[in-house]
Amino acid sequence: MILNNYYNLNSSNTNERIKTLINNLDNGLNLSKDQFLDLLNNFNYELLPYIQDLAFKKRKAVYHDSVYIRGLIEISNYCKNNCYYCGIRKNNDDLERYRYNKNEIYQIVDYAYHNGYKTIVLQGGEDDYYSDDLLIEILTYLRSNYPDLALTLSLGERSYESYYKLYQAGANRYLLRHESASAEHYSKLHPQEMKLTTRINCLNDLKTIGYQTGAGLMVGSPYQTNNDLVDDLLFLQSFQPEMIGIGPYLNHPKTPFKSFNNGDINHVLVIYALARLICPEALIPSTTATSSLASDGRYRALQSGCNVIMINLSLLDKRKNYSLYANKTYVGDESQEYLSLIKADIEKAHLKINFAVGNHITREVDNNE
Ligand code: SAH
């Protein structure tokens, strides 16, 4: 149970104390563990507009009005892992599995490129089909044919050597959510063979190699407490990822967590705004999970400091099988066909759609371009 005071009234003293903590973050100060815990334990709905306003301004100071667009290709729903929350986990046998071969990937990327996309994200389960050799071949082909395209991978945990070779072959960015920075909570979300230390080592490797590196978490995942979220916020504060993927936990009926409730949209917005204040320069997408949870989720996420939207470019007949959670907005929203809806949300939030490559502000010229 997180943000358990969200729907209660605070005394004005409490609200003033929490505002001071928020102002400290806004002024670039770090908060301690106790201060973050105070903030989360006492955050209530009256404070949401306050923190959203600061997060909105902070994003504007760094990235102006731009909301960057990425093209997402879900290349495989095969996965060797058994994360308890995830619908494409290995032991879900009620799922039609698919993967794209290199030519199918090239076709989609070519379509994306000619429709103006400057960042392509290749995401999938941990699927051994995508050996280093195959990925190097794919990256080398894409890098040489589309030199101005940013290539982002999101293919889970791999060795330092593998990440290094893929970077050499032309990958620029890597998304690997840490999922939970509390070892105890991490172990409740994953089977024993998956360890937080491995995940964090991977993130450190990616940063060392030179990738723009993305961490992130689900808000309201089973067993999550404010103490766990404090660990996540402290991790973001110290690691300073270039990208931060945040969305609500969403129930999937074919997982061991089938009886747990979805995360709360308001809680997600609070964490977006906190992430923006903690990492002012981060690229923070309004994620598909957020749009799936609430019809106005994307608009409200943009009001809370988000500055990226990932558009699903996977083939329609495959999209339904990349079911990380139930009721994913896979057919219409967040897909190429619905670009105009996305544009309308961006404009409603007084922001501008931007198809530029959209590197992290410190990497305006990325080594790999
Ligand atoms: N295999 C890759 C990509 C995983 S899918 C990797 O390990 O990074 C991308 C993200 O979807 C995951 O990191 C996870 O945070 C999120 N996700 C998975 N199941 C979910 C669920 N039930 N609800 C919300 N988000 C989920």
Give residue-wise pLDDT tens across range 39-97: 999 999 999 999 999 999 999 999 999 999 999 999 999 999 999 999 999 999 999 99
Q: What's the gap in Å between 50 CA and the centre of ligand 1?
A: 30
Q: What's the gap in Å between 75 CA and the centre of ligand 1?
A: 14
pLDDT at residue 330 is higher than 80: no
Where residue 368 falls among pLDDT bands split at 50, 70, 90?
A: low
pLDDT at residue 333 is higher than 90: no
User: Is any atom of ligand 1 closer than 6 Å to the C-beta of 244?
Assistant: no
Q: What's the gap in Å between 246 CA and the centre of ligand 1?
A: 10
* Helix, strand, coil share of the chain (percent; to 5): 45, 15, 40
pLDDT at residue 334 is higher than 60: no
The tokens describing 214, both together, are: 């993305």
Q: Are 227 and 262 in contact (CB under 8 A)?
A: no
Task: Express each pLDDT in 120-132 by its tens digit.
Answer: 999 999 999 999 9
User: Is any atom of ligand 1 closer than 6 Å to the C-beta of 250?
Assistant: yes
Q: What is the pTM of this model?
A: 0.96
Residue 203: φ, ψ to 5°: -60, -40
Task: Express each pLDDT in 313-324 by its tens digit.
Answer: 887 677 778 888
Q: How does the average pLDDT of the chain come out, rounded?
A: 95
The helices-and-strands tally (H runs, E runs) of the chain is: 14, 9
Average pLDDT score over residue span 18-34: 98
Q: What's the gap in Å between 324 CA and the centre of ligand 1?
A: 6
Given this model, what pLDDT does residue 317 score? 72
Domains of the chain: 64-363 (3.20.20.70)
Q: What percent of the chain has pLDDT over 70?
A: 95
Tell which wins on pLDDT, 108 or 317.
Answer: 108
User: Is any atom of ligand 1 closer than 6 Å to the C-beta of 123?
Assistant: yes
